[in-house]
Each structure stands twice: as C-alpha cells, then as structure tokens.
C-alpha cells in the first residue's frame, strides 16, 4: 500500500531506509524513525482498536506516552508484548502488531453491540448488576466479564529476553530534554556537576523539535542538537534517550526504564531488552513538560479526532498528514500553530476558536495566510463511525451555555487543543504539595519535599524566554550548591511569538434533543454523563469518583483526562477545582514491564548458589543435589538404577556397619575470640561454658528471648581465648546477627569478637565403627585412641601436608570424627580420605542418609527446632542450666512452658512395621472421630530405620513423656492415610549413647 | 529506597541493611529479679508509632555494625543516625 499521507520535504525520519511491517496481518511500509502510529497514518490507517467498554472504534489521539487509544499487541522475535503504545513503538523491519479488545476483527467487532446497549452500561454498572444472585458471581458473571474486559494478552511463555538493573549516582538528574531540561542540564554540566539527562523519546529536544522558535540566532531544533552533541562529549554527563524516569521514591531515589532494544527486530546477545536504572540524585530537575488537554464534545472519541500538538508532531517529525481536510478546534493559540504547519504543507484548515476576539502575533500570522477562522465557534459533535467524515459546528454564546444554529461541515480530522496540563507526576510522587494555578487552569508543584525543582512548562511556564532563563539559572544555582563552582554560561536570546491567553471553556454543551456521548477518559470509556451520575449517586471525594467511574484508571493513567474530570466535578458541585483536589499520582508514570522490574534475578539467579569446595567430586560421582538454604548439598550418590530410598538406605547402613563420609562444609562456622568469650558463650547458650577446657568441644543450645530454641551446635575451645562455634546450615546468618546484636548493643562491655568462618573451612564427617581405624591411617603420628582423643575431644594434625582440625563429634550417633582443612584443600582431603578409606569399605553419604541416621538416634534438627519449640519439647531440658542466667531463660518460667502435659519429643513406629508415616501427619487418639479431630501432636521427621529395617518417625507430642507405649493414629489427610502407630522413645537406636563413646 | 548514613561507612542504600526494630527497648540485666509483666513487656511489647521513631538497623551487607536510626515512619525522613553504643 502506498503512503498517501506522507509529505515529501519535512520530517526527521530516514527516508533512505524503508521498513516493512504488518498490522492486523496486512503489510505496510514506513521509514526508519517512524512509530507504528506515524507509519499507519502515512498509509491512511486510522482504525487501530476498539474501546474498553463500548467497543467503539479507536484511532490515534496523541503522538507519545499520553496516548489513550492506540495500544496494540506487539509480536517480536517470537515473543509478544501486550498494551504497547503504537505512538511510542518505533518501527523495525518485520514488526508485527495487532489490534486489541476486538473480536473477530477490528473492522467488525461483535462487542460493539455494547455501544448500542450503552444505556445499560452506566458508571458502576458492574457493581450494581452483578450483585445478585450472589452465587452467580464466580461461575457465570466473573468469567464472562473477564473474557470481555482487558486489552492485550500477556504471553504465557517464559520471557527469554534479558533485563538488567543498574545503579547510578549523580549530582543532578534532569528528566526530559525539552528546552528547560536542556538549559538546566547544560548550565549544571558546565558548572562541573555530574549530570544525567533522561529523555523518554528517541529524539532529544522535546517541544523544540516542533515549535517555530529561535534560540541564539538558530532554530530551536538546531540549538537543541548543538547542546545535546556538546553534552554527549562531556565526561561528567550521561545522556540517555528512550529512557523514562517513571518513579520518584524516598531520599531522591528515582527509577528510570531504558528501552535499550525495543526498537530493534531482536535483542543482541548480552544486550538487555530493557534496563532499569536506580538513580540516587543529589538534586532533581523535573523538566517533564506538559500535555495538551482535549476539548470535550459529542462523539469526541471518533477516530480522526486528535490533539492539535500531535497533528503538528506527525507533520514535523514524521512528515505525515493526519488528514487532508483538517478542522482545528481550539481555545488557545496552540491550534493556530498547527494550522500554520498545515498551510506550510499545502493544506488549508478551518479554525474554530471558542474565544470571541483573541489577538496575538500568531493569530495575525494565520489571518495573513488566509486561513479561515471562525471565532466563538465550537464543534458540537463529530460525525462518522470509523473515521471522522464531518463535524456539526455551531456558534456559542458568550456564557458558553447556548449554541446557535448547527451547521455541518466536511472534514477528515478534528485537531483539538484545550490548552496545556503540566506533567507534575514526578514532583507529586516526591511528596511535594501542588497548587492550582488559575491562569492556566491546572495544578503545578509548590513546596518541594525532597531536593527537586520543577522547570519549564512542567511548572506552568509557557513562555520559552522565561523557561530558558529560569532553567539556566536553576541549573547554575543547583550545581553551585554541590560543586561550589561558579562557572556561568551565557544565556542565549530567545525569539518567540507572543501568545494570547486561553479560554477557560473546555466542554461543549449538548444541543437540544441530542444525547451524544462526550468522553473524558478515552481509554476507559468514561463520559461526562458517567461522572454526573456518580455525583448524583452521592460520590463526593474525587478519589471515590475515580474508582466508581474508573476515570483515569487505565494504562494511560488519565494523562489526557484527569484535569477535565476535575473541571467537570467542580462545575457540577459548584466548587473551584482546587477545592475538589486531584487524585494521588503514583509511580509508575508509564507502564513498566515485569521483566524490567525483576531484572536478572530470575530462575537460578533469583538467589545465590553456594557450592562446597568438594562439589565437583560429588558431581563426578553421581550425586543428586538438594537445596539446603542457598547451598547445594548431595542428597544421595546414585549407583546404577538406585532410587533415593535404596541409595539412602545403602549409605546409612554402611555408616552403621563400616564407615561413611559426609560433606559438612555447609555447617555455619563462627570464630569467637577474646578474653570474655567463655562468659559470652555462657550467656548465649543454655548450658554452662565457663569450665570448658582447651581442646574440648561441647554441644550447646541457644534460645531467643521468648524461650524458643533458636539453634544448636557444638562449640570447641581451640585455645585460651579462641572458640570455634558451629551452627546449623540454615541458621548460620541469623546466629551471627544475633551474636553481634548482643555484643554490640546489650553487652558492649564484653571483650569478644565474632566473625563468620564458614567459607574458610572445608569439613568432612567420618562416621561409623571403622572410623577410628581410618583416622589412624590418616594421622599416623597422632594418638587418636579413645584415651588420646575421647568423645568431644579436639586436636590438630597434619593431613598429608595440610593443617587439619580434628573434632570427635557425632551427628549420626556412631563413633565419628569431623576433619576440617582450609577450604582450598577440601577437595584434596576428600579424595585422600576416599582413597585411604577403601580398605574399610568407605562410602560417601548424602543428606538423606544423614537424616536417617540422626532420626533413629533421636537427635533433633531443623524439623524439630522449628521456631515453635522450647528445650523441654526437644528433650534438651538437661542442657538448661538452673544456676546461671542466659538469653531467654526468664521466658522458660511461663506457665505454658512448665505445664505438666507439655509437648515432648517421642518416637513413632507404625504397628504394621511397614507403612511409612508422612512427615507432617497428625497424631490423634481416634482416627474416625468427628472433625475437628483433636490433634495431640505432629510427626516432624520420618525415616526408614536401617537398624531395625522398619519405618521410624520423630514427633512432638502433647504430654509426650507419659505417652510412651500408647497406641495412636497418624493421620495424613493430604495423602489420605490413617496409620495405627505406637509411641516409643525418641532414642530408637543405642539409647545409652555407647557407640559415640566407644 | 532509603538512603541511610551508617556512622561507620557513610551513606549507603537501604538494601545493605536489615531492619532491627525498636531501639528504645533495654534488655533487663542478667540475674535481675523481674515480674512477669515487666519481662513480657520487654519480650513482646513494641511501640509502632506513626512518626518519629528510634530504631535499630544492622549494616548486614556492610560493616556488620548495629546502628541506631532516628526516622519518621510516615515520611521516611531520617533525622540522624548513631553508633549502637551512643546515647540518644
């Protein structure tokens, strides 16, 4: 299709590069530098979608982020993005886009029947209608509404694109590269400040690209180009296009999304699609500009009705005519600029000005160009369904209440200008108050809450001369505060046309007998009548009116609709706009993709993965890994076709019979040093620590202040003032913070230092009856006999040339040792132990066998120390000192904790000795009792006892100490199991602990 | 995201810190005779003011020092920060 609406000698697009793309499966051509919108308009396409509620035809309304209509489903690189603004998305070769919210297609849309039923769809329709009958909601109403509602469809595939996060610090962040942004950034950068200049569009310059002004004896556009190229060469400046600063957060933290590759057919390897910048700025200059306001009249949502500034932008930037018979409807001078631009391109327009007798340079120029102007005239209604074909116009009385005789004039587009609304979103997000500026009928930022300054039209300053002067001054003074420098740049002279003031008129009254829809919010289909209805129904607060009617709640967040909504509410309520106030501006200013927010922290990068130095050996030997906190630990080592169950049984059995080797590097290790270490440990642990001799280890339990067990582990006295503490893998970080809290805040007088040494040591546990034989071979020079190295003993040795620490401690309940060497010797140690251990039938064992071994020994671990149990519950009351005070001791006196039937750790065996009891099962007296069946306890850990070859579980059971020998039921409603069980001692194997001492 | 001035390291982003709760609470001395109510108040009762609040933060991904932050919980304004052992 030919580009019938493309102009020849105007625009910033690259005509040398033709680009083909598809819209609704049809092929079109555009140029490099086009947006989907400009290329479609060039091809005469104005129907791009259907509206949200009534499914009315939708065209283009703006030319940028404010676009309420033209949102499309984008297809790129085998992926799809929903709700992409066609006015922002740049063309690339092979781009495909489709209309949204229409079925079967945009030209014939079944949902459009809503438009004819619209008397049934007033504000709050859904709230009122689907209240009754109540049972219909989930099954009937909601699914239908969900299907009918919404715009684009999110992809359900995994997003393969790369998104990145970046942190940046600067002196001054400037948000927008229009005249005020350029001037501030330039002045600040020249004064030595570190500046970031962010522009949401691909091209820098903002309004200077389209306005007819002169700065420093060159056109505004040339001046902008010159400033930008100079800024780009400065080492203290970062200049970013396609970058939207969308959120202003606490302490001058702003977040910006940079569309790095969205304008390319596909993302290059290692280049992100989008990049999220977290910018901490000392000062922020908000130069976000302003957005033209619509005028409200009948059927003002018809495709072809658009902002006059957008029409001008399509001509000047893209060389595209939005129509060949334009009607311009304005209440200020901006519409005249668009008329002049049309005229320059050979198109005659008709201007309707609601003002009676305005006078200004621009108007004189338009008159001299012989462009037809009708003063005191308004558009009553647009005519045409899928595209404007004519307009009903009429003269309007001075009080704007009465319309004269209606006349129909032919046109193919209506360009509207209802004056300008400053973009105050960022300033308002920062917490600044806003004030209503009467001269411009809009809110501007007032008292700054954070270090931010709003300049230019974002601050309601519409004179370029004033803007440039003010922005240069601000850029200079703000940078001076930071850099203490005083390098001033000369301010260029500005030549601009003088304008006359705008008309406060914004909404055309309905002619007699006509019931046209006059839309305020174009994306959510909110019309004047909806707001009026809401007010009649008693909604008063603007926040309530917003939520009831959905005004300003669509993806465009009411960028074009908010102020007109406020004007209407204030008119109906007979208030002034500042009394009505505005709704809260919340980030993000424009939609941000979830991918950008998440960044690189997805999948396996969502948390760090920690691996022991022996990891590669495990991998080579068929280890199946399990997540243990952020660590990867071998769960079992698979031999042949073994299942988890078979492998763990084999490994556990080998520990009981021969000797096993387990990687215990992941255990938390904390070095405790200082003369008061013993006193500190004595306060941290429940048991006594003052008399632990050098070369001895002790098991300890630590509580929180509320008496709940926090962690357990062994601590070894390495030398006079040096202790080596171990924690569970999961609690290591919390325990360190806990110790630091008490040392720094509660008992700063204690001379103790703690530091994590988890990663400094690789640990290997050798467990089993033959472990001493093995140890003798590993340390031939040492006396490791039962006398030389008794249970809970500690010694240091030479492990084939490496320094080693040898602890005689046991988690498996067998005779066992733990050898620590410096981390980088871990792999060597492991291989060596495996090699030397061959003659004793050594086998590595994983966490599954480790669990089996500790469960049948009745040793508690994380599943019992679950943040809900006290020492008594875990049968650890023997470790609670009665003599000394320690953290959490006073809480143990609580009556619930000392109740005679307090819960306690027990063992559980199924009566049939066959059925495994699922972890988490409930213990009850009567399996068939009426629900809720009183719960006596729960199964915390289960294993297959290798000692007795039957299932065995640990449980925390009410009155556990008096329940041994009782018969109960273990219920697992999840797995639909009712298992008759007997309660036994938690020490199922070697209850006297002979093996560890042998 | 807050910008917190660690008294040891200087201004650092909030994501280097862990929140540590009310800094006006004093742990009773060891071996002190204390009523149930007093103990319970210490363990469980915390003020949650809307406004100025002295709180502990732990510079957990930094110098690992516990610090005191005088912060407005409504506006997030930080008035001052102190070392753990500084009296406020």
Q: Which among B31, B43, B75 is the nearest to A705, CB-wise?
A: B43
Residue A116: pLDDT band by 50, 70, 90 thresholds? low
What is the topology classification, in CATH, of domain A668-852? Gyrase A; domain 2 (3.30.1360)
Nearest chain B residue to A706, by CA: B43
Q: A237-240 and A195-198: which strand pairing? A: parallel
Query: Does a cis peptide bond (omega within 30 degrees of 0) precede residue A932?
Result: yes
Helix axes A528-536, A542-549, angle to 10 degrees: 120
3-state secondary structure A46-73: CCCEECCCCCCEECCCCCCCCCCCCEEE
Q: How many CB atoms are located within 10 Å of the residue A329 CB?
A: 30
What's the pLDDT score for residue A125? 65
Q: What ranges in A54-178 are assigned the alpha helix state H? A: 113-116, 125-129, 136, 142-148
Q: Is-same-fold flag (A1-153; A668-852)?
A: no
- Cα–Cα nearest to A941, from A843, A870, A874, A871: A874
| Interchain CB contact of A745 with B (< 8 Å) | yes
Of A62-71, A94-103, A159-168, A415-424, which range is least confident?
A94-103
Is B84 in contact with A748 (Cβ distance < 8 A)?
yes
Q: Which among B18, B31, B75 is the nearest to A885, CB-wise?
A: B31
Q: Which among B30, B76, B78 is the nearest to A885, CB-wise?
A: B30
How many angstroms away from the CA of B48 is the closest CA of chain A? Answer: 20
C-alpha distances (whole Å) from A678 to each of A20, A734, A754 are: 78, 21, 13
Give mean pLDDT, residues A220-245.
Answer: 98
Which 47-76 residues of chain B touch chain A by CB within 8 A? 56, 58, 60, 64-66, 75-76
Of A122-126, A350-354, A493-497, which range is least confident?
A122-126
What's the pLDDT score for residue A740? 98
Give mean pLDDT, residues A853-874.
Answer: 96
| Interchain CB contact of A773 with B (< 8 Å) | no
Q: Which among B1, B3, B60 is the nearest to A737, CB-wise?
A: B60
CATH number at residue B51: 3.30.2270.10
CA distance A44 to A63: 16
| Domain residue limits at B49 | 3-26+39-83
What's the pLDDT score for residue A155? 83
Residue A556: pLDDT band by 50, 70, 90 thresholds? confident
Q: Where are the domains of chain A?
A: 1-153, 163-290+422-495, 294-418, 668-852, 894-997
Taking only the tens place, the pLDDT of each residue in A580-604 is 888 889 999 999 999 999 999 998 8
CA distance A812 to A792: 14
Taking only the tens place, the pLDDT of each residue in A174-220 is 999 999 999 999 999 999 999 999 999 999 999 999 999 999 999 99
Residue B18 lies in a domain: yes
Residue A523: pLDDT band by 50, 70, 90 thresholds? confident
Nearest chain A residue to B36, by CA: A894
The residue with greater pLDDT, A552 or B29, is B29
| A163-290+422-495 belongs to CATH 3.50.50.60 | yes
Residue B53 lies in a domain: yes
Residue A78: pLDDT band by 50, 70, 90 thresholds? confident
Give mean pLDDT, residues A243-269.
Answer: 95
- Per-residue pLDDT at A40 exceeds 60: yes
What's the pLDDT score for residue B26? 93
Kindly report the CA angle at A864 between A861 and A867, in degrees rounded to 5?
A: 110
CA distance A953 to A910: 9
What share of chain A has pLDDT > 70, as a percent?
A: 95
Residue A108: pLDDT band by 50, 70, 90 thresholds? low
Give mean pLDDT, residues A20-35.
Answer: 96
What's the pLDDT score for residue A152? 79
Q: CA quadruple A155, A156, A157, A162: dihedral positive or negative?
A: positive
Which 19-48 residues of chain B touch chain A by CB within 8 A? 20, 27-28, 30-31, 34, 36, 39, 42-44
At the fourth CATH level, which superfamily is domain A294-418?
A: FAD/NAD(P)-binding domain (3.50.50.60)
CATH of A894-997, one of 3.40.640.10, 3.10.290.10, 3.30.360.10, 2.40.30.110: 2.40.30.110
Residues of A in contact with B60 (CB under 8 A): 737
Q: Which among B1, B44, B84 is the nearest to A249, CB-wise?
A: B1
Q: For tokens 């002619």, what's the residue? A: A511
What's the pLDDT score for residue A100? 83
Residue B88 lies in a domain: no
- Cα–Cα nearest to A317, from A205, A216, A217: A205
Residue A20 backbone dihedrals phi, psi, to 5 degrees:
-100, 145
Q: Which among B42, B58, B78 is the nearest to A737, CB-wise?
A: B58
Give mean pLDDT, residues A760-783.
Answer: 97
User: How many domains are contained in chain B?
Assistant: 1
Is B30 in contact with A683 (Cβ distance < 8 A)?
yes
Residue B32 lies in a domain: no
Give mean pLDDT, residues A662-666.
Answer: 97
- Per-residue pLDDT at A530 exceeds 70: yes
Taking only the tens place, the pLDDT of each residue in A445-481 is 998 889 999 999 999 999 999 999 999 999 999 999 9
Indicate the burial class of A365 (C-beta count within 10 angstroms; 0-12, 13-18, 19 or more): middle
CATH of A1-153, one of 3.40.50.300, 3.10.20.440, 3.40.50.2000, 3.30.450.40: 3.10.20.440
Q: How far is CA A755 from the centre of its chain?
A: 34
Residue A491: pLDDT band by 50, 70, 90 thresholds? very high
What's the pLDDT score for residue A131? 59
The tally of CA atoms less than 13 A away on the side-chain side of residue A407 is 11
- Per-residue pLDDT at A115 exceeds 70: no
- Per-residue pLDDT at A554 exceeds 90: no
Complete DSSP assignment for A723-784:
EEEEE-TTTHHHHHHHHHHIIIII-TTS--EEEE-GGGEEEEEEESTTHHHHHHHH-TTS--
Is A250 in contact with B1 (Cβ distance < 8 A)?
yes
- Per-residue pLDDT at A705 exceeds 90: yes
Residue A502: pLDDT band by 50, 70, 90 thresholds? very high
Is A744 in contact with B65 (Cβ distance < 8 A)?
yes
Q: How many CB pairs under 8 A join A and B?
A: 56
Q: What value does the mean pLDDT of chain A take?
A: 93
CA distance A849 to A866: 21
């Amino acid at each position: 299709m030919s580009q019938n609406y493309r102009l020849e000698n105007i625009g910033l697009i690259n005509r040398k590069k033709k680009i083909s793309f598809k819209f609704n499966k049809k092929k079109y051509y555009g140029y490099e530098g086009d947006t989907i919108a400009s290329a479609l308009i060039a091809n005469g396409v104005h129907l791009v979608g259907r509206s949200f509620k009534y499914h009315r035809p939708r065209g283009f309304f703006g030319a940028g982020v404010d676009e309420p209509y033209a949102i499309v489903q984008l297809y790129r690189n085998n992926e799809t993005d929903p709700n992409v603004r066609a006015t922002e998305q740049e063309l690339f070769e092979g781009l495909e886009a489709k209309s949204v919210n229409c079925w079967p297609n945009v030209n014939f849309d079944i949902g459009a029947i809503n438009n004819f039923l619209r008397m049934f769809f007033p504000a709050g329709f859904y709230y009122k209608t689907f209240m009754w009958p109540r049972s219909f909601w989930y099954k009937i109403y909601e699914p239908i509404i969900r299907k009918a509602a919404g715009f684009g469809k999110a992809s359900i595939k995994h997003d393969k694109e790369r998104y990145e996060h970046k942190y940046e610090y600067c002196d001054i962040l400037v948000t927008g590269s229009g005249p005020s942004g350029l001037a501030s950034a330039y002045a600040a950068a020249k004064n030595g400040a570190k500046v970031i200049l962010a522009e949401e569009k691909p091209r820098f310059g903002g309004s200077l690209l389209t306005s007819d002004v002169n700065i420093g004896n060159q056109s505004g556009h040339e001046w902008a180009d010159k400033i930008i190229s100079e800024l780009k060469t400065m080492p203290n400046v970062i200049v970013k296009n396609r970058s939207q600063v969308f959120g202003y957060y606490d302490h001058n933290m702003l977040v910006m999304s940079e569309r790095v590759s969205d304008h390319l057919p596909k993302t290059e390897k290692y280049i992100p699609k989008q990049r999220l910048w977290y910018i901490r700025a000392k000062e922020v200059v908000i130069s976000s500009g302003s957005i033209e306001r619509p005028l409200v009249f009948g059927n003002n949502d018809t495709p072809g009705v658009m902002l006059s500034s957008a029409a001008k932008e399509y001509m000047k930037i893209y060389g595209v005519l939005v129509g060949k018979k334009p009607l311009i409807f304005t209440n200020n001078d901006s519409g005249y600029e668009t008329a002049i631009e049309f005229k320059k391109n050979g198109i005659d327009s008709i201007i309707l000005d609601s003002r009676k007798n305005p006078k200004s340079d621009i108007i004189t120029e338009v008159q001299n160009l012989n462009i037809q102007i009708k003063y005191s005239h308004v558009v009553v209604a647009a005519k045409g369904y899928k595209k404007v074909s004519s307009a009903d116009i009429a003269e309007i009385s001075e009080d704007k209440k009465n319309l004269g005789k209606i006349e129909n004039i032919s046109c193919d587009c209506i360009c509207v200008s209802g004056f300008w609304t400053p973009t105050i979103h960022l300033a308002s997000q920062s917490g600044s108050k806003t004030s209503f500026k009467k001269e411009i009928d809009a809110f501007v930022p007032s008292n700054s809450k954070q270090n931010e300054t709003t300049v230019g039209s974002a601050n309601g300053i519409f004179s370029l001369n004033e803007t440039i002067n003010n922005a240069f001054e601000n850029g200079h003074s703000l940078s001076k505060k930071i850099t203490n420098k005083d390098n001033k740049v000369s301010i260029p002279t500005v030549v601009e046309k003088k304008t006359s003031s705008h008309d406060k008129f914004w909404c055309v009254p309905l002619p007699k007998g006509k019931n046209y829809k006059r839309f305020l919010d174009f994306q959510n289909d909110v019309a004047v009548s909806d707001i009026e209805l809401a007010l009649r129904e008693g909604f008063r607060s603007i926040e309530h009116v917003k939520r009831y009617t959905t005004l300003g709640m669509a993806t465009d967040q009411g960028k074009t609709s908010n102020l007109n909504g406020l004007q209407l509410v204030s008119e109906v309520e007979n208030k002034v706009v500042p009394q009505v106030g505005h709704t809260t501006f919340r980030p993000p200013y424009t939609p941000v993709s979830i991918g950008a927010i998440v960044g690189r922290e997805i999948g396996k990068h969502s948390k760090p993965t920690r691996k022991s130095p022996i990891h590669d050996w495990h991998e080579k030997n068929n280890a199946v890994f399990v997540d243990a906190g952020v660590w990867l630990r071998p769960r079992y080592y698979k031999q042949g076709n073994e299942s988890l169950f078979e492998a763990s049984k084999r490994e556990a059995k080998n520990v009981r019979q021969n000797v096993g080797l387990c990687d215990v590097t992941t255990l938390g290790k904390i070095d405790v040093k200082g003369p008061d270490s013993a006193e500190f440990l004595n306060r941290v642990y429940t048991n006594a620590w003052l008399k632990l001799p050098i070369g001895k280890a002790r098991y300890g339990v630590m509580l929180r202040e509320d008496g709940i067990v926090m962690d357990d582990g062994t601590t070894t006295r390495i030398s006079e003032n040096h202790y080596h503490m171990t924690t569970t893998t999961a609690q290591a970080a919390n325990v360190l913070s806990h110790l630091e809290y008490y040392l720094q805040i509660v008992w700063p007088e204690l001379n103790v230092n703690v530091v994590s040494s988890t990663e400094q040591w690789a640990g290997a546990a050798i467990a089993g009856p033959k472990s001493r034989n093995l140890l003798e071979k590993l340390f031939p020079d040492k006396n490791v006999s039962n006398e030389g190295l008794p249970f809970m003993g500690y010694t240091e040795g030479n492990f084939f040339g490496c320094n080693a620490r040898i602890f005689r401690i046991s988690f498996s309940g067998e005779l066992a040792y733990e050898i620590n060497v410096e981390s980088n010797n871990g792999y060597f140690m492991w291989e060596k132990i495996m090699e030397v251990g061959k003659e004793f039938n050594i086998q590595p064992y994983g966490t599954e066998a480790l669990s089996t071994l500790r469960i049948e020994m009745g040793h508690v671990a994380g599943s019992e120390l679950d943040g809900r149990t006290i020492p008594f519950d875990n049968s650890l009351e023997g470790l609670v000192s009665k003599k000394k005070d320690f953290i959490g001791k006073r809480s143990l006196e609580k009556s619930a904790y000392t109740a005679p039937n307090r819960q306690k750790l027990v063992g559980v065996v199924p009566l049939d000795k066959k059925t495994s009891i699922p972890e988490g099962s409930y213990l009850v007296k009567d399996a068939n009792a009426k629900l809720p069946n009183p719960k006596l306890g729960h199964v915390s850990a289960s294993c297959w006892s290798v000692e007795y070859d039957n299932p065995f579980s640990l449980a925390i059971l009410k009155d556990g100490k008096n329940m041994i020998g009782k018969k109960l039921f273990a219920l697992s409603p999840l797995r639909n199991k009712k298992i008759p069980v007997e309660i036994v001692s938690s020490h199922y194997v070697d209850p006297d602990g002979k093996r560890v001492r042998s | 995201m807050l910008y917190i001035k660690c008294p040891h390291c200087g201004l650092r982003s909030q994501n280097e810190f862990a929140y540590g709760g009310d800094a006006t609470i004093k742990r009773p001395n060891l071996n002190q005779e204390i009523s149930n109510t007093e103990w319970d108040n210490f363990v469980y009762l915390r003020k949650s003011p809307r406004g100025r609040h002295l709180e502990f933060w732990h510079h957990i991904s930094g110098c690992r020092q516990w610090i005191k932050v005088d912060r407005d919980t409504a506006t997030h304004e930080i008035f001052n920060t102190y070392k753990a052992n500084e009296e406020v």
